[in-house]
Structure 1
Amino acid sequence: MTGGFRGWRVVAGAFALAVFAWGIGFYGPGVYIATLVESRGWTVGLLSAAVTWHFLVAAALVANLPEMHRRFGIAAVTRGGALASAAGLLGWGFGAESWMMFGAATLTGVGWALTSGAAINAMLSPWFDRRRPAALAMAFNGASVGGILMTPFWAWLIAGFGFGSATAVVAALLLAVAWPLAGRVLARAPAEFGQHADGLAAPPEAPARPAPARDRAALLRDPVFRGLSLAFAIGLFAQMGLVTHLVSLLLPALGVRGAGLAMALVTVFALVGRTVTAWVLPAGARRRWAAAATFAVQMAGSLALASAEGSVPLLLAGCALFGMGVGNLLSLPPLIAQAEFPAAEVGRVVALMQAINQALYAFAPAAFGLFRESGGAEAALWVTLALQGLAAVLVLRR
């Protein structure tokens, strides 16, 4: 055995993949909509519907990710996701008619499903058990870095070379990074190097008679799974709705440049919150209390935003507090699943939870638009606060 514990190389590879996955599949759609509305005059409603379709496709596919990994291997599935994302990007960039964006969204939705949260959890699970909170936090920080780096990178490419060329450049970079990573780093198992999870000299003792893994139908009948999934689905619905509309909510008080900086503040604090939580995270069932605390911090952020009345310090404080929880809503579900479900079921639990979450939050941008139209910006913020409070209560109920 040479070169030390190789699990941290897998973390670095997953981090790099997350930068592209979130830069293309999560933060990218907002860029696509804004660019195509301005350059081609297509309607916001139609393009928003294409983005909703993007997330629904991902939700339908990600529930089957554990089976795909078992059948084809992580390397092949990850490479397939990268190819789908690259092809979908070219569709967004060069599609001649607005209806073609639904085809592009189908491909980027497939890529998002195969390279995002459940996929990264599957890459790290063989390598980490006790140290999985820190490993997941470091890998998922790539999602935050994707928001910090990729959005301005998109803007620079589009301004300098046009949208079509920008999508071609990002697609090429994605394949240049993801293709070798998938085969050389992300798909390797500890046994290939004579190593064990967490770098231990010997594997941890397994139960004498491990319970057989349940299928999706059995998990959906499990009240523990249903309650946990519902809590995070509601929390992510509120988060997705507010993040989508946050720039326009901040514009009157902060202006275009200030609103952009405030969004960057949200992303930076998402990285900080996830990292701090990972290093102090309690074990076992107390991880639910960490989730409840996350929702409570986001409630404080929503309250600050709703009460700001144009106050710049309050708006920035609200963005920082809300951002503190953004990353944790991504990394905490697999960690709670690790603590509460048999090891053989964790991958399926995480994938099914992600599918349910995405199916719900795909409709959040449109729903929050209706809240704003019917009751104004404050109504949307109070709805966010109420949903986060409900999620905090539900996550503590087993």
Structure 2
Amino acid sequence: MIAATGVDESSLHYRGWRVVLACFLMAFFMFGFGLYGQGVYLAELQRAHGWPGSLVSAASTFSFLLTAILVIFTDDLLARIGLRSLILCGLAALGASTVLLALMQTPWQLYLAYALMSVGWTGMGTVVIATVLNSWFERRRGLALSLAFNGATCGGIVLVPLLLSLTGSIGFRAAMLVATILMVVLVLPVVVGFIGWPAENLRATGGRSGGAAAAPAHSRKTLLASAAFWTMVLPIAIALLAQMGFIIHQVTFLEPLIGRASAGLAVTIMAAMAVVGRLSLGLFVDRLDPRLACAASMTSQAAALFVLLQSTSPVVLLACCAVYGFSIGNMITFPPLIIQREIGSAAFAAAMGLGTSISGIVSAFGPGIVGLARSASGDYTMAFAMCVVLDLVAAGIVLWRPGVRAKLAAL
């Protein structure tokens, strides 16, 4: 049952917008520390301990793969311990992870820190944010998701430069401890004060803390047999594979063409346009067909990459990065919108967890595949052309609509 039915979701007094603020802060610190900050850890841990880059990079890969496994069970955790408890566990795990990163002395502590970070992703990541906002919003669901997930991009834009600045002035250890304290001070009160299931959800489920997220264990098996599920998950996974491949190799591709400073500017422009893209889509997406909008986003990324390969003009290259960035953030906004429309609330958390796991595992291979293609051909032409094809294939798959709705009412 959607709590937003019969309420004015556009009113600033609606409690759901306070939940959006809490989710924004969760995404800000989770993505800031758990994704964008990993480049900082790589450099600083190598400098402080002399550890090879391969050791730290392997820990990152371990963390992403462990996260992909843990998020599958998000719906079970929500049903067993409740929403607020899961988020607080995630916050505690992420805080412990960042403190350990600051204080560690041996490689095994590095892997422990990254394992704790995976627990943080389970409690504060995409699946939980999408699930709680799905329960609070119906008519403005797309805008709520867009605003909350903008916290992820802002985490990269704000938190990483802050860490670098603090590291330069007070050192990496103190910088991580200060940033961790800041996270707890900002996130803990809003989680305790704002986060929870809507009252309608609790009444509909007899007061269980799991609310609408609770679903029988066999729902995952049913999802894997659902055409609606696969025509959403597979194209998103393919598009994210291409996206991750381009993002990781973007600077290496652009630097010989336009120089280091301009390549860095291209990254900044792309990140800023990701925020603009999320906000712009959020204003209209609730009136759009999410599959059509998703296909259009994938096609726009393919077009941007295609033009990127045809030009050496700095203006054109920066413009292509801007167009590409416009759709980057929306790739994690579309899945919950499609799931709610075609699969429904009963198995929402299960579908988000399983879908996020599949797309996370597939997209993790993006940087490696692009790197191999570049090594085999000697430049990025074949590698990025492959990304163009992948985006177009993904756009075609997401437009295929199964003849039977996969609404899992039986669950």
Q: Kindly tell me: are residues 224 and 126 of structure 1, through their superposed partners in 2, closer, same or farther at Cα, counting changes over 3 Å?
A: closer
What TM-score do you get using the length of structure 2 for normalisation?
0.86
Give unmatched runs, 5+ long, in structure 2. 1-6, 204-214, 402-411
2:324 matched residue in structure 1: 322
* Alpha-carbon separation, structure 1, partners of 2:371 and 2:54: 11
Residue in 2 aligned with 1:197? none
Query: Are 2:321 and 1:345 aligned?
Result: no
- Structure 1 contact 89–104 (Cα < 8 Å) conserved: yes
Q: Report the RMSD for the aligned CA atoms in angstroms.
A: 2.4
Question: How far 1:31 moved relative to its partner?
Answer: 2.0
Cα 1:334/1:163, change in 2 over 3 Å: same
CA gap 1:395/1:67 in 2 versus in 1, 3 angstroms:
same
**Separation (CA, whole Å) in 2 of partners of 1:108 and 1:131:** 31
Compute the displacement of 1:283 (Å): 4.9
Question: In the TM superposition, what is the alpha-carbon distance from 1:214 to its structure 2 partner?
Answer: 5.7
Query: Relative to structure 1, is the Cα distance of residues 36 and 384 closer, same or farther in structure 2, using a 3 angstrom cutoff?
Result: farther
Query: Is 1:252 matched up with 2:261?
Result: no
Question: Does residue 145 of the first structure (1) align with residue 154 of the second (2)?
Answer: yes
Distance in 2 of aligned mates of 1:61 and 1:321 = 33
Alignment of 1:295-314 (within 5 A): 295-309=298-312, 311-314=313-316
Q: Aligned partners of 2:366 and 2:281: how far apart in 1?
A: 26
Q: Aligned to 2:105, which of 92, 96, 120? A: 96
Identical-residue share of aligned pairs (%) = 35
- Aligned AA for 1:261? L
How far has the Cα of 1:189 moved from its partner? Answer: 2.4
8 A contact 1:247–1:259 mirrored in 2: yes
Tell me the equivalent position of 1:18: 27
Which residue type is aligned with residue 19 of structure 1? F
Shift of 1:188: 5.0
DSSP 3-state at the match of 2:224:
helix
1:121 aligns with 2:130: yes
What is aligned with 2:140? 131
Q: Which residue of 2 aligns with 1:52?
A: 61
> Secondary structure, in 3 states, of the residue corresponding to 1:79?
helix
C-alpha displacement at 1:42, in angstroms? Answer: 2.7
Residue by residue over 1:303-335, the C-alpha shift from the partner in whole angstroms, topping out at 9 and shown as x without a partner, is 2322233x2112101210110110110101100
Distance apart, 1:105 and its partner CA: 1.3
1:364 Cα shift?
A: 2.4
Report the CA distance between 1:240 and its aligned residue: 1.3
| CA displacement at 1:266 relative to structure 2 | 0.9
Aligned equivalents of 2:386, 2:53: Cα separation in 1:
23
Structure-2 separation of matches of 1:136 and 1:396: 22
Q: Choose which of 255, 269, 272 in structure 2 pairs with 1:265.
A: 269
Q: Over residues 132-187 of structure 1, what are the superposed CA-to-partner deviations in whole Å (9 max), with x where a residue is unaligned? A: 01111111111121121112112112211222222212222222222222211122
1:152-301 residue pairs with structure 2 within 5 A? 152-187=161-196, 189-191=198-200, 215-281=219-285, 283=287, 286-301=289-304
CA pair 212-84 structure 1, distance change in 2 beyond 3 A? closer
For the residue of structure 2 that corresponds to 1:151, the secondary structure is helix
Quick check: 1:383 aligned with 2:386? yes
- Deviation of 1:193 after TM superposition, in Å, equals 12
Secondary structure (helix, strand or coil) at the match of 2:259 reads: helix
Q: Normalization by structure 1: what TM-score?
A: 0.89
Tell me how far 1:218 sits from its aligned partner: 1.2
Look up the equivalent residue of 1:160 and give its one-letter code.
S
Q: Report the equivalent of 1:208.
A: none
Is contact 1:74-1:182 (8 Å) kept?
A: no
Whole-Å Cα distance in 2 between the matches of residues 101 and 382 of structure 1? Answer: 37
Cα distance in 1 between the residues matched to 2:286 and 2:138: 14
Equivalent pair of 1:134/1:275 in contact (CA under 8 Å)? yes
C-alpha change, 1:383 and 1:99, in structure 2 (3 Å) is farther
TM-superposition CA deviations, 1:350-382 (whole Å, max 9, x none): 121111111222232233222222222223222
- The answer for the alignment partner of 1:373 in structure 2 is 375
Contact 2:240 2:359 in 1 (8 A): yes
Taking a change above 3 Å as real, the CA distance of residues 325 and 95 of structure 1, as seen in their structure-2 partners, is same
2:96 maps to 1:87 = yes
Structure 2 SS opposite 1:126: helix
Q: 1:106: Cα distance to partner?
A: 0.9
Q: Is the 8 A contact 2:139 2:286 kept in 1?
A: no
What residue ranges of structure 1 are gaps of 5+ in the alignment? 195-210
* Letter matched to residue 392 of structure 1: A
Q: Label 1:152 to 1:347 Cα distance change in 2 as closer, same or farther (>3 A).
A: same
